[in-house]
């Protein structure tokens, strides 16, 4: 029943081709533009063919965007801080949701989902005033603090489902044998949940890396703390954008998350879709 005749095959592949063109064209064109010399890009109408492709823009961009290295470091630093903090808050909470029965358990779980639906834009004003009062505007903290809040809900849901996969019998057996809660946590839960923790940590990292715009343009004006998206966005305002270098820098900026995701896509997608599909 899964056999397709040649015509059907051609139609399906053609459909996939059109669909994929829509999805991937921007990336392909960004990469192509990054390889072309600037005077080839600045021809109207668009020239499809360039004969002298090179990686020159990838060297030159460091001069054109002098703080690019710093922006990349900032993006990594911010995303790592957010991911680690998120894990610290989420591990105990997810464990409680996976293992204990308590009043308001389901209600609070759904409330968490509801929080996910609020855009950060709705709460910018009080946060702006709060950060200003605390003297935290224009600092790393101004981007980390709100970032963590918006990753906690999904991370709790994800990690909860990993904890639930660890058989409770193991813990009960250890408890009967006289192990303390701390011992159970160290010797049973921790090793068994490492894969889940890694996946949730990476999910938080990717999420934190991806959300570095709204809070960053609102709460931080200092160049030395800017992550890649806002750093590059500043350059678009300039009169003549060196598009080949801009595209090179953009691709370098998205590469880390893309690689992380490709290696771990199976686990992340499984975790995220499990809630919506099988639940």
Partner 1 sequence: MNQKLKSYTAQTYIAYALIAPAALYIILIVAWPLLETIRLSFTNSSLAGEDYVGLENYQKMFSSKKFNGIVTRTFVWMFFSVSLKLIIGLIGAVLLNANLKGRSIFRVLVMPPWVVPIAIGMLGWLWLYNGYFGIIAGVGMRTGILDGPFGFLAYKQSAFISTIIADVWVGTPMVTVFFLAAMQGVPRDLYEAAYCDGASRWDRFFKITLPQITPVIITMSLLSAIWTFNSFEIIWILTEGGPRGSTTTLIIDTYKQALGNYKFGRGAARAVVVMILLMLFAGFYLALLARINKKISHE
Map the footprint of partner 1 across residues 56-85, applying CB under 8 A. Answer: none
* 112-148 burial: b if 16+ Cβ within 10 Å, else e: beeeeeeebeeeeeebeeebeeeebbebbbbbbbbbb
For residues 251-270, which are near partner 1 according to CB under 8 A? 253-254, 257-258, 261-262, 265, 269
- From the list 49-57, 66-74, 122-130, 190-198, the region that binds partner 1 by CB under 8 A is 122-130
With binding defined as CB under 8 A, does residue 161 bind partner 1?
Answer: no
Q: How many residues does the chain have?
A: 279
- Radius of gyration of the chain, Cα coordinates, nearest whole angstrom: 24
Q: How far are the Cα atoms of 4, 70, 216 from residue 137, in angstroms, in the given order?
A: 60, 19, 10
Q: Which one of 121, 134, 190, 198 is in contact with partner 1 (CB under 8 A)?
A: 121
Q: Least distance from C-beta 50 to partner 1, angstroms?
A: 13
Residues 232-251, one symbol each (x = binds partner 1 by CB under 8 A, - = not), give xx--x------x--xx--x-
Q: Contact, 203 vs 271, CB < 8 A?
A: yes
With binding defined as CB under 8 A, does residue 12 bind partner 1?
Answer: yes
For residues 169-228, which are near partner 1 according to CB under 8 A? 172, 175-176, 178, 206, 209-214, 218, 228
Q: Read off φ and ψ for residue 46, nearest 5 degrees.
A: -45, 130
Give 105-140 as a 3 state SS string: HHHHHHHHHHHHCCCHHHHHHHHHHHHHHCCCCCCH
Q: Which one of 137, 143, 148, 204 is in contact with partner 1 (CB under 8 A)?
A: 148
For residues 90-119, which are near partner 1 according to CB under 8 A? 90, 92-93, 95-97, 99-103, 105, 108, 110, 112-115, 117-119
Distance CA 238, CA 5 (A): 55
With binding defined as CB under 8 A, does residue 53 bind partner 1?
Answer: no
Q: Which one of 196, 201, 229, 271 is in contact with partner 1 (CB under 8 A)?
A: 229
């Amino acid at each position: 029943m899964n056999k397709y005749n040649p015509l059907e095959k051609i139609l399906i592949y053609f459909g996939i081709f059109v669909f994929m063109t829509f999805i991937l064209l921007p990336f392909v064109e960004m990469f192509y533009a990054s390889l072309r010399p600037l005077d080839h890009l600045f021809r109207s109408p668009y020239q499809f063919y360039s004969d002298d492709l090179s990686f020159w823009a990838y060297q030159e961009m460091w001069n054109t965007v002098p703080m690019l290295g710093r922006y990349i470091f900032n993006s990594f630093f911010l995303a790592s801080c957010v991911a680690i903090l998120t894990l610290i808050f989420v591990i105990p909470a997810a464990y409680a949701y996976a293992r204990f029965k308590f009043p308001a358990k389901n209600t609070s779980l759904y409330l968490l989902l509801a929080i996910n639906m609020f855009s950060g834009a709705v709460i910018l004003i009080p946060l702006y005033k709060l950060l200003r009062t605390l003297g935290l505007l224009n600092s790393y903290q101004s981007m980390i603090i709100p970032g963590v809040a918006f990753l906690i809900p999904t991370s709790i849901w994800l990690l909860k489902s990993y904890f639930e996969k660890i058989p409770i019998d193991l813990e009960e057996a250890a408890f009967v044998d006289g192990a303390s809660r701390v011992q159970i946590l160290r010797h049973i839960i921790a090793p068994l949940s490492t894969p889940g923790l890694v996946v949730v940590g990476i999910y938080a990292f990717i999420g934190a890396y991806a959300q570095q715009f709204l809070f960053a343009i609102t709460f931080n004006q200092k160049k030395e703390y800017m992550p890649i998206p806002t750093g590059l966005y500043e350059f678009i305002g300039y009169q003549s954008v060196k598009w080949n270098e801009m595209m090179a820098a953009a691709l370098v900026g998205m590469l880390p998350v893309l690689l992380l995701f490709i290696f771990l896509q199976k686990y992340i997608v499984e975790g995220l879709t499990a809630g919506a599909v099988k639940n």
